[in-house]
Amino acid sequence: MNPDAVITVERATVTRGGNHLIRDISWEVELDERWVVLGPNGAGKTTLLNLASGRMHPTRGKVHVLGERLGRVDLAELRTRIGLASAGLAETMPPDETAFNVVLTASWSVVGRYREKYDDLDAARARALLEQFGVGHLAERLFGTLSEGERKRTLIARALMTDPELLLLDEPAAGLDLGAREDLVRRLSDLALDPDAPALVLVTHHVEEIPPGFTHALLLRDGEVVAQGLLDDVLTPDHLSKTFNIPLKLTQVDGRWAARA
Ligand SMILES: Nc1ncnc2c1ncn2[C@@H]1O[C@H](COP(=O)(O)OP(=O)(O)OP(=O)(O)O)[C@@H](O)[C@H]1O
């Protein structure tokens, strides 16, 4: 096995109720890579992320995450090594905890303060991460009172709290206004360019949301791979048109992509 691989998916198929959510997918992510998974609604992006985060097993094929084979490993232990930020996770956060506690409690893999002990280093890390994602001034605000964009940034800070080896971001810019999206893309670009950052996988529907510094892309359609590899090789008008089933023009300016019909 490749010692640098953090995710290895070998011919994985996931079937539910007779439907293939993904079909015969092979994919490898190495520790210094930053991947974008791009595709239309229903393409299988979240399913692939669920495999990568140990939240789902393949019906057929093999998946290794951080050197562990899914199905043969304690998933609770594995998940502490993986940071995940998704809309589904946002809903499980207690609205009456502060943003600071939402980040801090990740160290115990819990969502609310109870009797766990946190030391000063944990508290300092939580504050630094909130600052890094531009929500340091909201540390004492209740999570339920934060805007969509502020909540998303808080959850990315939470996902990084345990210093994970792999960070998975499921549509982090969905629902954000233009200013909030641009701010988030810039912060994710800083993260992508940081050599000490974990391996990154970002799921999105929009090429406009790809932060500079991302290195690879996987394009999905109907549960199958249209193209995958280095971002510049994969992001072509032809591949993108096939992925979204509509003729698309693609431009790249200052490291940012844009697509239109
Ligand atoms: N439990 C299930 N049973 C049957 N079909 C399912 C199940 N879960 C997901 N699907 C279907 O599998 C396909 C892939 O779903 P998935 O959520 O992975 O897509 P996605 O690319 O993340 O979509 P979106 O961009 O809309 O979030 C969809 O057509 C979805 O309806």
pLDDT digits (tens, 9 = 90+) for 195-217: 999 999 999 999 999 999 999 99
Amino acid of residue 3 = P
Residue 75 is predicted with a pLDDT of 80
The per-residue pLDDT of the chain, averaged, comes to 93
**Rounded average pLDDT over 29-51:** 96
CA angle centred on 160, ends 253 and 168, rounded to 5°: 60
Ligand 1 centroid–CA 124 distance in Å is 39
Question: Which residues make beta-bridge pairs with 220?
Answer: 225
CA–CA gap between residue 207 and residue 250 (Å, rounded): 9
Ligand 1 pocket, 21 CB below 6 A?
Answer: yes
Rounded Cα distance between 124 and 182, Å, is 27
Q: Using the atom order of ligand 1, give the atom closest to the CA of residue 21.
A: 12
What integer pLDDT is reported at residue 39 of this predicted model?
96
What is the interface pTM, i.e. ipTM, of the complex?
Answer: 0.95
Give CA–CA dist 258/248, Å, rounded.
Answer: 10
- Amino acid 1: pLDDT: 79
Q: Reply yes or no on whether the pLDDT at 80 is more than 90.
A: no
C-alpha pair distances (Å), 204 with each of 127, 168, 173: 28, 11, 8
pTM above 0.90, yes or no: yes
Determine the distance separating the centroid of ligand 1 and the alpha carbon of 109, expressed in angstroms. Answer: 27
Indicate if the pLDDT at residue 111 is higher than 70.
no
Q: Which is the CATH superfamily of the domain at 28-57+75-81+166-261?
A: P-loop containing nucleotide triphosphate hydrolases (3.40.50.300)
Q: Answer whether 17 contacts ligand 1 (Cβ < 6 A).
A: yes
Nearest CA residue ID for atom 18, ligand 1: 44
Confidence of residue 6 (pLDDT cuts 50, 70, 90): very high
- Whether the CB of 19 sits within 6 Å of ligand 1: yes
What pLDDT, on the 0 to 100 scale, is given for residue 242? 97
Provide the residue ranges of all domains of the chain, joining segments of one domain with +: 28-57+75-81+166-261
State the pLDDT at residue 143: 95
Q: What is the pLDDT of residues 132-190, one digit of tens each?
A: 999 999 999 999 999 988 999 999 999 999 999 999 999 999 888 999 999 999 999 99
Is the distance from CB of 173 to CB of 197 less than 8 angstroms?
no
CA of 167 from ligand 1 middle (Å) equals 21
